[in-house]
Structure 1
Amino acid sequence: MCVFGVAVGWFEAAVVTYLRVAYYPDGLRFPLAPLPGNLLRVELAREAASIVLLAACARLAGRHFLERFAAFMVLFGIWDLVYYAGLWLTLDWPASLATLDILFLIPTPWVGPVWAPCAVSVALIGGGSWIYLTPEREHRVTALDWVVEIAAGLVIIGAMMTAGHAIEGSAVPLDDAAAREFPVAWFWAGLLLGVGWFVWREARAAGSSARS
């Protein structure tokens, strides 16, 4: 499973390397130069197809929904980290973890410093691995758990989409865009909510099991 995540991450990095060399040789800048013809639609479909690939592998890697979801979390995190490692190897980019990047294009550009998706990926790998590698534990996820985690995810996504909207009309290289455009506090609030709730829920479940 992990090998698959690495392979898809490298595939993603290779495709983006071709796109940047061909269409953005001077680096990314807003407003983004339009891709020719229907290439933007092709790129959007490719992004969606990458998620489908990860979901399909996760479907095969688990025996029930929660285990499959945990596998998807691990795969997504590995995919994203390998993607940035691949870009660093092929393009010597990003220059630092503070470099801003376009993270997704669906439905509008998500923008954030590279450390932001990397932090999310580490959290996904950690949480997903814990669930996937401890099948002997009874991981009961309540409706409230889903609501809190989904809300945390939406806060994180909202921070990235807000940053994309804030600098979309600028005419400076993305690498030079003001870091203040990214709502750091908003992002960390979402990530800490998601991670904190997960850790608290698992600790509470472990305590209940020990007492029973």
Structure 2
Amino acid sequence: MSGWKGRLLTLSLFAVAMAYIESATVVYLRHVYGIQDLLRDAPTQPDALTPIELGREVATLVMLGAVGALAGRAPAARWGLFLYAWGLWDIAYYVWLRVFIGWPASLGDWDLLFLIPLPWWGPVGAPVLAAGMMMVIGAGIARRSEAGLPVRVDRTALLLGGIGTAIALYTVLAPALHALPGGLEAVGRARPTAFPWGLYLVGWGMVTLAGLRLAGWVRSP
């Protein structure tokens, strides 16, 4: 499968299979820690498994980046396919969890999304929305690059993407950031009470617009 469609299909199969492994690992961790409700039962203090879990998160991104690099034929295409694989992996991860343990019951269920550099909290709908955008934009950038068309990173795209990313990250890191003055123990105990969807959508929209410019679907003035 050396053509564009074949490589995209192979990359998709990898992302879905990798999501199976990721979700299976999370099922095991839930059993180890006795987690039924993440907000109530997630560990509040680091333990012997914490550095292993942090390493697993880094390894996940390395694997997605590596397979994107192998699938792409040009630098911009490699970056785009990394984003596409990341997005598909994230969506498939929740699909597999739903198959395995019936969770999430809805897109509004809270999830502990990431641990680096601090815990990220958000409803499942937030990463799913971001993942869908990453798939579309990533595939668009990769397709444009492999067609021999330029992918220009202009100042407006950088500004929109940078500010939008910062806003979106704040919404998922807010509980940990607000607790940070109390030390790492307070960060571990911090739990969200409400998600700022309006602010998140502003950040998501800015990043999406930046991506559309990079993919050539929105022209620079």
Scaled by the length of structure 1, the TM-score of the pair is: 0.84
1:192 paired to 2:205: yes
Identify the residue that residue 160 of structure 2 maps to in structure 1.
Answer: 148
The 3 A distance-change label for structure 1 pair 183 and 192 is: same
Deviation at 1:144, TM superposition (A): 3.9
Decide whether the 8 Å contact of 2:38 with 2:110 is kept in 1. no
Decide whether the 8 Å contact of 1:29 with 1:171 is kept in 2. no
Q: Within 1, Cα distance between the matches of 2:98 and 2:45?
A: 23
Equivalent residue for 2:151, pick from 128, 139, 143: 139
1:102 paired to 2:115: no
Listed as ranges, the matches of 1:32-51 within 5 Å are 32-33=42-43, 37-51=47-61
Q: Within 1, Cα distance between the matches of 2:57 and 2:189?
A: 25
Listed as ranges, the matches of 1:14-93 within 5 Å are 14-30=24-40, 32-33=42-43, 37-93=47-103
- Which deviations, in whole Å up to 9, do the C-alpha atoms of 1:41-72 show, x marking residues without a partner? 10110111011100111111112221111011
Q: Within 2, Cα distance between the matches of 1:31 and 1:187?
A: 26
Identify the residue that residue 3 of structure 2 maps to in structure 1.
Answer: none
Decide whether the 8 Å contact of 2:86 with 2:134 is kept in 1. yes
Deviation at 1:83, TM superposition (A): 0.7
Equivalent residue for 2:23, pick from 13, 33, 36: 13
Query: Any idea what SS the aligned residue of 2:39 has?
Result: coil
The 3 A distance-change label for structure 1 pair 185 and 119 is: same
Gaps of 5+ in 2: 1-10, 180-185
Q: Within 2, Cα distance between the matches of 1:170 and 1:34?
A: 4
Q: Within 2, Cα distance between the matches of 1:26 and 1:204?
A: 44
Q: Within 2, Cα distance between the matches of 1:99 and 1:164?
A: 18
Please report the RMSD computed on the Cα atoms of aligned residues, expressed in angstroms. 2.7
- Which deviations, in whole Å up to 9, do the C-alpha atoms of 1:183-206 show, x marking residues without a partner? 21211110011112333562454x
- Which deviations, in whole Å up to 9, do the C-alpha atoms of 1:101-131 show, x marking residues without a partner? 1000111110001000000000000101112
Gaps of 5+ in 1: none
Identify the residue that residue 111 of structure 1 maps to in structure 2.
Answer: 121
Identify the residue that residue 8 of structure 2 maps to in structure 1.
Answer: none
Identify the residue that residue 172 of structure 2 maps to in structure 1.
Answer: 160
Q: Within 2, Cα distance between the matches of 1:147 and 1:6?
A: 32
Q: Within 1, Cα distance between the matches of 2:22 and 2:38?
A: 17
Query: Any idea what SS the aligned residue of 2:112 has?
Result: strand
The 3 A distance-change label for structure 1 pair 79 and 164 is: farther
Whose relative contact order is higher, 1 or 2, with alpha carbons under 8 Å and at least 6 apart? 1
Q: Within 2, Cα distance between the matches of 1:85 and 1:166?
A: 32
Listed as ranges, the matches of 1:178-189 within 5 Å are 178=193, 180=194, 182-189=195-202
What amino acid is the match of 1:141? Answer: V
Q: Within 2, Cα distance between the matches of 1:31 and 1:188?
A: 29
